[in-house]
Amino acid sequence: MDKRTDKVVDSATKPTSLHWEVNGQGMDLVLLHGWGMNGAVWHQTAQVLKQHFRVHVVDLPGYGHSAEAPSETLEEMAELVLQQAPKSAIWVGWSLGGLLATHIAHSHAKYVSGLVTVASSPKFAAERPWRGIQPKVLKDFTHQLVDNFQLTVERFMALQAMGSPSARQDVKNLKQAVFSRPSPNQSALLAGLKMLDQVDLRPQLSEISAPILRLYGRLDGLVPVKVASDVNEAIPHSQHFVFSQSSHAPFMTEPELFCQQIVTFGLQTVKNQ
């Protein structure tokens, strides 16, 4: 049996290179963080999942150790990520990361053998009758970001944990992870808010051929749990699961159950290949 490999890939000499951490052995699994965050939020999750997969964690363009390589659009972000990403991997995307993973599953299908979206939506902005974040909230974040981006990111962390029984601890864990790495690039933050406000991938959902698992938090105030039934209509062949005690960060609030869902989906994906 081959020895488990743990390595960090970070080619800082190129402005387009991103920071990756690769741990474990087995089927490739990519973890994508959300807006304002970085790959450190996945630390505890990756420690468990590396026992089952070869786990790839990236700081997305403009965030953390990849702060010097921002991108303006979802496709630009995808192109930078795919430069060092494995092919035929399971992609797990949280929030904005879920939007990116969904785009990659549709437009760069050879990279994706399975898609998992976490507290995510094909369209984040509300637009009757579609449920989501009120446009005013996104606009307020944009204005606040220009004045004080660190305070804005902290407010967003609090909003993500709101409603969870462990909200205080969830926010503490998010802050500890995010602030352990360089601050995000302000232009990337603004571009990310624009994506959340404008991107609509609903028409592409039915064209994704990879197996799909959608994970939601019952108490999520950013991606209402009723979005699950709305998306079911677009992709009835997909699976979904709702974490009863979680808000927007189920991998922190209910970590054991979260990892169990990923491992089970991974085994199903391998079996069906």
Residues annotated as catalytic are 95, 220, 248
Phi, psi of 22 (to 5 degrees): -125, 125
Q: Alpha helices of 43-148 — where are they, by DSSP H?
A: 43-49, 74-82, 96-107, 135-147
- Helix 167-178 vs helix 149-161: crossing angle, to nearest 10: 140
Strand 89-94 with 212-217, pairing: unpaired
> Strand pairing partners for 57?
21, 31
Beta-strand ranges (E) seen in 150-224 are 212-217
Name the strands in the sheet holding 53-58, side by side, starting at the edge strand that comes first in the sequence.
5-10, 19-24, 53-58, 27-32, 89-94, 112-118, 212-217, 239-243
Q: Answer for the pair 97, 199: CB distance below 8 angstroms, yes or no.
A: no
Q: Answer whether 86's CB lies under 8 Å from 60's CB.
A: no
Q: How many CB atoms lie within 10 A of CB 83?
A: 12
